[in-house]
Chain A
């Protein structure tokens, strides 16, 4: 007899013994639609992966810009097709490397970027008109965008040719991951400013990647992940449309999404298909989009995270491979496959390469790319997509009824939902009701692997601190001070902050200086603690 957990998906959707024609909604033929046509259930493009594979984009960066540049060159040489910058926590939260409060964190989970001088080294020899770059940065996202535009300009690449994505999604940082700086209102303004700026100046750059991944890894289930993410996206779009300067069609093509793909294979596929359908309808019905391309739900994924286990860690290679296949059958545009050794430390060069190979085998050996949306029309997958869509819609309606996402975050409601879900899952794992191979079934005593992860050593730290000191010594001090003054004036007022931010980075103002200037005007976020 199967346990309850084996008969429902991870998000609690019931799964029947068998599905047939009666389980698929036959009443509305437009509900599923064709690939490349509204509501995009079957994907954004009629040609699918025949025309364009997803981007192999491995999240990477550590230590100094020199080290990270070397790793990017390696990944591109090994067949990576885009870059994804991992910045260290001081960079993400707005501290310089010489701040005594953050000395342990410099260069540790990502690369240290203090000023434009660091960004110039990070992209040395990488043609920004041909390689796209994604930044998982949120609090300081607008500063990173300014770095990128400034480096492009130094390389002679016009803004119109820059491609990539800046995550730039602060709302989920208040709930999970935690790289918030300022309170929600000015933070949302800065995001809206950067989206408007990109729509006008950097038209091929995704100015926001609304991310559910961090809700998910903090404990949300797949339906909550998608619902919270869509609700965050609605919050940003409401802000921009509410300003009255831009229509949805002018900026929606530069809004993208990002998720975790976990283990429940068909639920993950259904999540992405249902997400596409929801977003298409939101953009058309809530905002009155006229262009079909505005309604396209373009997303990247990460595979791994919480699902990776320290016990029998090489099992993680298999988990990530299945997750990657689910993402591809769900129609992903860009993917990061995590390395098997990440429960212990940053990945080694060898494990990173293996993670990239996992995607390459999927793309070139398995044949899953031959036809568009191969699971489309499956009685089960279509029924599960419908059930997922309904569940997501219910969660979104609840959030709206409670006053919207900002309100639900400020009073800790979303945090509570996630903590409850995380605790419920842990209980199932502890009781063996949710099987994790090597953890609560088929255990074996294996010694932990011997790894040599990259470490920020004293030589690298000195290099970083010396460069920062050199920047402070040699820049035009007066011009830097004046640029910060103009930024402050803009922050007090309501003009777009991106032009003065770009001025600041071009005058070699540091991430810490810029962040402090804005904290002075806007204050800092105070977190509620819910467990």
Chain B
């Protein structure tokens, strides 16, 4: 069965060039990809993740609100009983915020400038997907 990934845009940020590129790259790499569209509430992301039975969620946040939105999404996943779904975070993340995101429960962080092949290889590893 193919590994399922949810690409999600929490909060109010509408910049989704990166999210769409990541979604395409993962699809081309053999993942089944669902994209939420922009401006999703953390609870809605958790509901989609549960319903679609995804293995990993990629949050894309360029508005600087990554700490609060990641915390809320992780909490919403736990509240929905799917706290085991891995969460990774990408976007405009200053270097100083990488460790705090990992501490909040992110499995990996991909700041601006991360090569797309690095991200795809990493998602393969995190989900145990066979290349």
Interface positions of A (Cβ within 8 A of B)? 89-90, 92-93, 95, 101-105, 108-109, 173, 176-179, 217-219, 306, 309-311, 343-346, 419, 422-423, 426, 430, 439, 448, 450-451, 453, 527, 529-531
Contacts and interface: CB of A to CB of B under 8 A. Distances in A.
Contacts of A448: 95, 111
Interface stretch (B19-27, B51-59, B80-88, B122-130): B19-27
B14 A422 contact: no
A104 B41 contact: no
Interface of B: 7, 11-17, 19-21, 23-24, 33, 35-39, 41, 63-65, 67-69, 72, 92, 94-95, 111-113, 115-117
Contacts of B69: 104
Contacts of A108: 63-65
B64 A346 contact: yes
A101 B33 CA distance: 27
Contacts, number: 101
10 contacts: A104-B11, A178-B14, A178-B39, A179-B14, A218-B16, A306-B17, A343-B113, A346-B64, A529-B35, A531-B23
Nearest to B22: A531
Contact of B94 (A176, A178, A217, A453): A453
B94 A451 contact: yes
Nearest to A426: B21
A178 B112 contact: no
A218 B62 CA distance: 13
Nearest to B17: A218
A104 B113 contact: no
B34 to A, nearest CB: 9
A531 B24 contact: yes
A500 B85 CA distance: 49
A90 B13 CA distance: 10
A351 to B, nearest CB: 13
A89 B24 contact: no
B17 A105 contact: no
A177 B38 CA distance: 9
Nearest to A448: B95
A529 B37 contact: yes
B116 to A, nearest CB: 6
Contacts of A345: 64, 92, 94
A229 B36 CA distance: 27
A101 B41 contact: yes
B12 to A, nearest CB: 4
A430 B116 contact: yes
A512 to B, nearest CB: 13
Contacts of A101: 41
Contacts of A90: 12
A439 B114 CA distance: 10
Contacts of B20: 419, 422-423, 530-531
Contacts of A102: 11-12
A104 B68 contact: yes
A439 B115 CA distance: 9
Given A178-B39, A422-B20, A93 B12 contact: yes
Given A529-B35, A529-B36, A310 B21 contact: no
B41 to A, nearest CB: 7
Nearest to A108: B64
Given A343-B112, A453-B94, A178 B38 contact: yes
